[in-house]
Amino acid sequence: MTTHWILGPGAIGRLLAHSLSPIAATTLLGRRALPARQMLTTPEGEQHMLPLHSLTIAQLAVSRPELPTFVHITTKAMAAESALAGITGCIPPSTPLVLWQNGFLAQPRITQAWPGPVLCATTTEGAYLTGDDGVVHAGRGHTFVGDLHNQHGALAEELAQTLTQAGLAATKVDDIRQRLWQKLAVNAAINPLVALNGVRNGELRGEAYAGRVVEVVKEVAAIMLAEGIAPPNDGNGEDAWLALVWQVVENTANNKASMLQDVEAKRPTERGAILGPLIESAQRHGLACEVLQGLDNELAEVEASF
């Protein structure tokens, strides 16, 4: 039986814990203690109240549970490195990590700094929390797993099989960097605009915002080209990126995007992990990024007002 520690008991962390618990020894780690019994609502609407093993970071240091086969980091992008730093004294440096963050900030930094294998996961599983003791698995998706330098294919395959067995369909891939940047491109076109304007994703299709989406995608498409990230669906540059963004807007029209949820809750957003790598790349390649920089500045002002 494999042993999984899940660092960050947000929606994806708790969904992972619920899914893995029946087939693997699983421990959910966070700063705060959680109720021992946790409710999972399935996409079909079934409710399961299950005991989940959870520990605070402070308890971990003294209780020393069995060492993990994998440590999943499921915090927000900006918190991943400090969360890892909080447990490094409790695990061997050879422990495989699995990074579930949005954007492209934590992944290259932790891959470079951590001596052991670092896998990255990108998922379209939909989940949200309903409080300290509940998570709703809102929609089934797919998870792709790989590492940035394609050095740990067998480990990625083992993890993909475990996740699939746990009911979270997953595939090992050799192009996780491409997939992370593709998701980042879509997030950059949707998240800042909806967060700054307090609207659901679908409203971006309206006259008030559609032109701004096109402006963002123009800059993003040029940056993707410079980064060697293939346009989606074997398409052509800007048009293909725009088509993907409109498709995601359509599919998630009723969603309150994660960045809007952060702004509403007065939490720091993931702008540093989504807009940050794009702006850094544009500057490195001498490309225009006034629109992206403008969005980042506006979000920084909003965050400063919290």
Active site residues: 183
Q: Does 252 bind ligand KPL (CB under 6 A)?
A: yes
**Token couple for 33:** 């203690």
Give Cα 217 to chain centroid, integer Å. 21
Which is closer to ligand KPL, CB of 24 or CB of 220?
Answer: 220
Site for ligand KPL in 256-295 (CB under 6 A): 257-258
Closest separation in Å from C-beta 151 to ligand KPL: 28
Which is closer to ligand KPL, CB of 29 or CB of 249?
Answer: 249
**Residue partners of 250: CB distance under 8 A and separation at least 6:** 202, 205
Q: Is 296 helix (H, G, I), strand (E, B) or coil?
A: helix
Q: Does 221 bind ligand KPL (CB under 6 A)?
A: no
Binding mask 188-207 for ligand KPL (x = CB under 6 A): --xx---------x------
Closest separation in Å from C-beta 258 to ligand KPL: 3
CA distances to 135, 172, 185, 201 from 144, in Å: 22, 6, 17, 24
- Indicate the pairing of strand 143-146 with strand 170-172: parallel
Which is closer to ligand KPL, CB of 29 or CB of 195?
Answer: 195
Binding segment toward ligand KPL, per CB under 6 A, in 69-77, 132-140, 248-256, 288-296: 248-256
**Torsion from C-alpha of 248, 254, 260, 262, nearest 10 degrees:** -100
Site for ligand KPL in 132-191 (CB under 6 A): 186-187, 190-191
- DSSP β-bridge partners for residue 54: 28
Q: Is 195 helix (H, G, I), strand (E, B) or coil?
A: helix
Closest separation in Å from C-beta 255 to ligand KPL: 4
Binding segment toward ligand KPL, per CB under 6 A, in 32-40, 77-85, 86-94, 252-260: 252-260
Q: Does 255 bind ligand KPL (CB under 6 A)?
A: yes
Which is closer to ligand KPL, CB of 186 or CB of 291?
Answer: 186
Smallest CA-to-CA distance from 284 within 276, 294, 296 is with 276
DSSP assignment of 162-184, as one string?
HHHHTT--EEE-S-HHHHHHHHH
Binding segment toward ligand KPL, per CB under 6 A, in 50-58, 203-211, 225-233, 250-258: 250-258
> In the sheet where 126-131 sits, what is the strand order?
47-51, 37-41, 134-139, 126-131
The CA distance from 171 to 148, in Å, is 15
Closest separation in Å from C-beta 231 to ligand KPL: 18
Residue reference for tokens 């891939």: 173
Closest separation in Å from C-beta 97 to ligand KPL: 22
Which is closer to ligand KPL, CB of 37 or CB of 142?
Answer: 142
The CA distance from 43 to 126, in Å, is 9
Binding segment toward ligand KPL, per CB under 6 A, in 58-66, 236-244, 247-255, 296-304: 247-255
Which residues make up the interface to ligand KPL (CB under 6 A)?
A: 186-187, 190-191, 201, 248, 252, 255, 257-258
